[in-house]
Amino acid sequence: MSKKLLKNGYVLVSADDDIEKLDVLIENDEIEDLLLPENTEEIEEEDVEEYDLSGKLIIPGFINMHTHSAMSYFRGVADDSSFEEWLFKEMLAREDFLRSEMAYYGAVISILEMISSGITTFVDMYMFTDEIAKAAYDLGMRAYISRGLSFDNEEGWNQRVKENVSTYEKFNGLENRIYIGFGPHAPYSVSFDKLKEIAKIAEKYNTHIQIHLLESKNEKNQYSLSDIENTGLFEVPTIAAHCVYVDNEDIKVLSKNDVTVVYNPTSNMKLGNGIAPIVDIIDENVNVTFGTDGCASNNSLNFFNEMKVGSILQKYKYGPDKLTIKQILRMAWENGGFALGERLGRLEPTFKADLVVLDINTPEFCPKDLKRMKSNIVFSANPRNVFGTMVAGKWLYFDKKFVNLLDEGEIYEKFEYYYKEIENNFNNRVCDGNIRNNNC
């Protein structure tokens, strides 16, 4: 049995609570109790590891509901390109050169960035799902991973579905923190028939679906969400990234089918896709969460940015009284837990011990008025305020350092080596029988 007592800190139990001085008792991977500091003497006599967090603020860990972790190699590529150019010309052409060991280190780099930005759970859609699951497992993160499934021909499709199933069989449920879903990429890359097929498979494995929906303007002319509803996809718990171009009818479909929406404000703005109508979506009682998307389109995995940018875009679109701090923090925390069917996003007893310790002895948190701390988390804080990150009762980051990381230097070295290999291959790739030129 392993117990930890986090002493003398301030605690924000959930988006709806006020900040209080409480001690947090953790047993194995769960919060066991929250105690007033004067009531912890008996516990201190037991066999517990104690951590003095005086002057720190403990909050639930952030839940990043949409990312592509292995895409860290593509950070800073095609910064000034349209969504279509970015995806079809720059990303897919580089992805041809990714190999499994590269994907492992790509995911590791993103996971390190997420841990140091206070993210404790990530939802990922990509190729090389075994490697991504292994990276999450090795580094102690909580992760929900799906193979990105697109259709080119029957053989290719079947191969990708097979990989998705194989990762499910190897990793699903591992340490109660790695889960595998299915990831039909988007309705423009997967036919309605194939969506129908994948819904049945996900149902059989009793797992969730991740999909990109109505991310770009061009998609608006191609399908509506009633079309997707008719495939039966939404009969499986569905996590829908983006939803920038949903109209009122689409929003009703999301609501009726309990689809979770992932708001990716930075990626949507950077690729010029636009502002998702989040206030209207929430008004229809849809569960809305945050995602960073991959760092190829963000270009960082800084969750504090998402909350701030996400909030101010909605204030710009609907008026400054819209999307309150409480709503933003619910989207960052418990709405993600609700979507994933796990006790995450609140620091109550029986919830998972996934939490972040913020250093509030910094200019960003002055004045130190407890009533303003929630505002500071959304609008002022940044990753340098993250003092510690705990997942499932284990510290992954403490005193602003990674815990139990075998060789951080080797990770960066391997990553750079593989990055160079991808770029070399990309620059020398053969296109229509010739070495790449500007038209290829």
- Minimal distance, residue 126 CB to Zn ion, in Å: 9
In the complex with Zn ion, the residue whose CB is nearer, 219 or 293, is 293
In the complex with Zn ion, the residue whose CB is nearer, 32 or 293, is 293
In the complex with Zn ion, the residue whose CB is nearer, 216 or 287, is 216
DSSP 384-399: GGEEEEEETTEEEEET
User: Omega into 320 within 30° of 0, i.e. cis?
Assistant: no
For Zn ion, the binding residues in 234-293 under the rule CB under 5 A are 293
Q: Is the dihedral of CA 68, 252, 316, 222 positive or negative?
A: positive
In the complex with Zn ion, the residue whose CB is nearer, 25 or 136, is 136
Instruction: Report which residue's Cβ sits closest to Zn ion.
Output: 293
Q: Evaluate whether 177 touches 390 at the Cβ level (below 8 Å).
A: no
Distance, in Å, from the CA atom of 347 to the CA atom of 34, rounded to the nearest integer, reads 8
- Minimal distance, residue 286 CB to Zn ion, in Å: 19
In the complex with Zn ion, the residue whose CB is nearer, 95 or 293, is 293
Strands of 187-295, DSSP E? 209-213, 238-242, 260-263, 288-290
In the complex with Zn ion, the residue whose CB is nearer, 164 or 376, is 164
In the complex with Zn ion, the residue whose CB is nearer, 113 or 293, is 293
- Minimal distance, residue 68 CB to Zn ion, in Å: 6
- Minimal distance, residue 66 CB to Zn ion, in Å: 6
Which of 262, 278, 87 is CA-nearest to residue 188? 87
- Minimal distance, residue 341 CB to Zn ion, in Å: 22
For Zn ion, the binding residues in 288-307 under the rule CB under 5 A are 293
- Minimal distance, residue 275 CB to Zn ion, in Å: 17
Distance, in Å, from the CA atom of 267 to the CA atom of 74, rounded to the nearest integer, reads 14
User: What is the per-residue binding string for Zn ion in 304-323, x denoting contact by CB under 5 A?
Assistant: --------------------
Per-residue DSSP letter, 47: S
- Minimal distance, residue 249 CB to Zn ion, in Å: 24
Distance of CA 240 to the CA centre of its chain: 12
Q: How far apart are the first and last CA of the chain?
A: 59
# residues near Zn ion by CB under 5 A: 1
- Minimal distance, residue 131 CB to Zn ion, in Å: 18
Helical spans, DSSP H, in 205-320: 217-220, 225-230, 248-256, 265-270, 278-283, 303-318
CA atoms within 13 Å, Cβ hemisphere of 50: 13
Distance, in Å, from the CA atom of 315 to the CA atom of 45, rounded to the nearest integer, reads 51
In the complex with Zn ion, the residue whose CB is nearer, 293 or 306, is 293
Q: Tell me which residues touch Zn ion (CB under 5 A).
A: 293
